[in-house]
Amino acid sequence: MIVLGCNGFSRSAEVFAEHYDAVGKEKHYGLGHDAGASLLIDGELVAAVEEERLNREKKTSDFPINSVKWVLDHAGVKFEDIDLIAIPWSFNEIVFNAALFDLAMQPLAPLDKLGRLNKIGQLFVHVLGQEAILADFAARTGFTPDREKVVFVPHHLAHATTGWYFAGMTDAAFLISDGRAELFSSVVGEIRDGKIKLFDDQMVTAHDSIGMLFSAITRFLGFVPNNDEYKVMGMAGYGKAPSPNPFLEHIVKLEDSGRYTLCQQHDLENPRSFEPLFEEHFGPFQDTLEYQSTVSAAAQEMLLAVTNHQLRALESKTDLPHLLFEGGVALNCLNNTPLLEESRFEDMSVSFGASDTGIAIGAAVYAWVNDPAAEGKVKAPESVTPYLGPEYDEEAIEATLREFTGKVEWTKLTDDEVVDRVAKLLTEKVIVGYFEGRMEHGPRALGHRSILANPSFSDIKDVINLRVKHREPFRPFAPLVLESDAAKVFELGKKKSSPHMTFVFPVKEEYREKIQGAVHVDGTSRIQTLTDEETPRLAALLRQFTSLTGVPCLINTSFNVAGEPIVCAPADAVNCFLGTEIDYLLLGNHLVTKVAKTA
C-alpha cells in the first residue's frame, strides 16, 4: 500500500494576511506552517521532506508541491499508483458548527460577530474545508484524486501517530500539546494495539492554549511568535522566576481534572491581548536581559507546572510505562527532561518530527494503520531514521562545485581521509560546514546538514555567532557526543540517549571547561548522541577528534544563517559557505576552501 502524506495550503498565508493582518513570515504561522510531504510504502517510511528546504522560504505554509514531487520521484511512484492521500487536518462539518457556536457565545456586538463570521467562512471556503483542500491538491499537482482515497486525519491524532511510529509502534501513553488543532490545543490518551483512546476530561480548548500563551510571551519579549520560542527557552537560563510565579498566580488555572484554563481567551484579532496582563504582573516591558530573562524563567517554570499537572492526571488513568510527548510544545527541550524525571513513566519519547514538520508522516501512518486493506499486515518498521530527505551523489556535488569555479577550490577525499582531515582541522579554532548523505527531517540539524566546531575554546560561541550565525549571544550551541560516552560527560537520569536533540542535561563539573563552548549559562547542554549504526562517519570523526584532543564533544549547529532554512542541496551549502566566514566545507567527500582574493 502506498500512502502520500501532505501538509500545507496554497492560500493560508494570503488569508491570514488579508483577514488577520499577518505580515512577513507571520503569514505562514497560522495554519499549515512547516508544510511538507511524506511517502509510506507498505508501512515503510521511504521519504519525507519539508517544503521550506526546497522552496527556501522558512516555515512556509504553502502547498508542498516541491515536496510531493520529490518524494514521489525518489520512490519512482506516480500519482496513479497512490492508494491513499493523508491530510493531517480534519476541518469537517462538526468543527465548522463548533466554531459557529463558539462565536455565537462570544460577548461581542452583532457587527463584530458578523465580521468574524466572514473570516471564519473565508478560512473554511478557501483554505481549511475538505473541498478546498481537494481542489487545492488538484490545482497544484494536476492530479484529481478519488474522494474516497483521501483521508482527513485529526491534527492531534496525526501528532500522536508520528510519535508512536517513531517509538517502534509499542503501546504508550501520550501527551500532545501545541498552538491549536481543529478545536483543541492539548489532548492526552493512550495507544494500545494501534488504537488511539483519548481521555476526554483532559482535553484543553484552543482558547486555553499553553502553546499560544508561550507564543504571546515570545512576542511580548520582542521575538517572532511561533518561531522564536527557543530564544525564550535560551534566555530563561539567565534569569530566575519570581516567587510566587505571576503566570501561575494570575493567568493559568490548574483544574482538578488535569485540564487547565487561562484567565482570558486567546484572540486571533488581537494577538497582543495578554500583554497588559504581563505588564501588570511583571512591570512595564524593559528591553534588558534582566527583565526578559526573568519573564522567560517564569514562563519555563509555568510550562513545567502545567505539563506536570497534565501528567499527574494521565498517570492515574494509564498503567503504561512509556510516554510519547508530541506537538510544538514538545520542542521545548528544557522542559522535557524534568517532565520525565518528575513522572512515574520509565521513559519518554520526543520524536525528531514532534512539531508540525512530522504530521505529514503521522497522517500517512494513521491512514495506513486504519485502512481495512492493511488489517493483519501492520508491523513496526525495522529501523527509524531522521535522514529521509534528498541526497546528492559525488557527481552532482562536483557539477555544483564547477559552477563556482574561481570562488572555491576542492580536494576529493576517501572516507578515511575525510575522518582524519576534518578531525585534525577541528583541533583548531575553525568552523566547518558538514554536508553528507540524506538530509535530516525536522527542525534540528542532526549531523547531515550541520556546522561543526571545537567546544574547548572559551570564545568559540562568539566566533560562530559573529562570523556565521549572526544571532543573539544568549543562545547556546549544542554538543555532539558518542552515546557510549554520554553518561561520562552528562547527568542523564532516566534518559540514556538523545539522538534527536530533544532533551537537555546538566554537564558534569569536570567536563564544563573542556566543552565550555557547548555549555549554557545554567550548566546544561541540549545534546545529540551518536551511534555507529545511525551516523557512522560522523561518529568516527568525533572518535578521531577525541583521540587527538581529549575533548569528547563537538559543537553541532544548523547549517544556515539566521532566518534561512537549513541548507538542502549542494548549491545551498556553497552559497552559505561563501556568504559567511565558515572556514572549510565538507561537501560529501569533497573538502572545499575559498579561493583567496588577490589584492
The top-level CATH class assigned to 394-594 is: alpha beta
Backbone φ, ψ for residue 482 (5° rounding): -65, 135
In this structure, how many other beta carbons lie within 10 angstroms of the beta carbon of residue 233? 25
Integer Cα distance of 136 and 143 in angstroms: 10
**Element spanning 195, H or E:** strand 195-198
Each residue of 453-464: pLDDT tens digit?
A: 999 999 999 999
Each residue of 199-211: pLDDT tens digit?
A: 999 999 999 999 9
**Exposed (0-12), middle (13-18) or buried (19+): which is 363, by Cβ within 10 Å?**
buried
pLDDT of residue 599: 53
Whether the predicted pLDDT of 396 surpasses 90: yes
Integer Cα distance of 136 and 65 in angstroms: 10
Which one has a higher pLDDT value, 514 or 475? 514
Whether the predicted pLDDT of 21 surpasses 90: no
Integer Cα distance of 59 and 184 in angstroms: 22
In this structure, how many other beta carbons lie within 10 angstroms of the beta carbon of residue 346? 11
Q: Which three cell numbers stand for residue 471?
A: 544571532
Each residue of 516-554: pLDDT tens digit?
A: 999 999 999 999 999 999 999 999 999 999 999 999 999
| CA-to-CA separations, 310 to 256, 297, 494, in angstroms, rounded | 10, 20, 20
Q: Where are the domains of the chain?
A: 2-167+355-374, 201-347, 394-594
Whether the predicted pLDDT of 284 surpasses 80: yes
At the topology level, CATH places domain 201-347 in Nucleotidyltransferase; domain 5 (3.30.420)
In this structure, how many other beta carbons lie within 10 angstroms of the beta carbon of residue 465? 17
**Element spanning 556, H or E:** strand 553-558
Integer Cα distance of 97 and 200 in angstroms: 19
Each residue of 135-166: pLDDT tens digit?
A: 999 999 999 999 999 999 999 999 999 999 99
Q: Averaged over 405-426, what is the pLDDT?
A: 98
Whether the predicted pLDDT of 440 surpasses 60: yes
Place of cell 569536570: 510
Q: Is 590 helix (H, G, I), strand (E, B) or coil?
A: strand
CATH 3.30.70.100 fits 2-167+355-374, yes or no: no
Which one has a higher pLDDT value, 123 or 539? 539
pLDDT of residue 56: 97
Q: Is 116 helix (H, G, I), strand (E, B) or coil?
A: helix
Same fold: 201-347 with 394-594: no
Each residue of 227-253: pLDDT tens digit?
A: 999 999 999 999 999 999 999 999 999
Backbone φ, ψ for residue 190 (5° rounding): -150, 155
Amino acid at 131: E
In this structure, how many other beta carbons lie within 10 angstroms of the beta carbon of residue 358? 33
Q: Helix 210-220 vs helix 275-282: angle between axes, to the nearest 10 degrees?
A: 70
Beta strands in 322-363 (DSSP E): 322-326, 347-349
Which are the contacts of 199, defined by CB distance < 8 A and separation ≥ 6? 187, 188, 189, 258, 314, 317
Q: How confident is the model at residue 54 (pLDDT cuts 50, 70, 90)?
A: very high
Whether the predicted pLDDT of 180 surpasses 80: yes
Q: Which three cell numbers stand for residue 32?
A: 499549515
Integer Cα distance of 299 and 215 in angstroms: 10
Q: Is 186 helix (H, G, I), strand (E, B) or coil?
A: strand
pTM over 0.85: yes
Q: Averaged over 46-51, what is the pLDDT?
A: 99
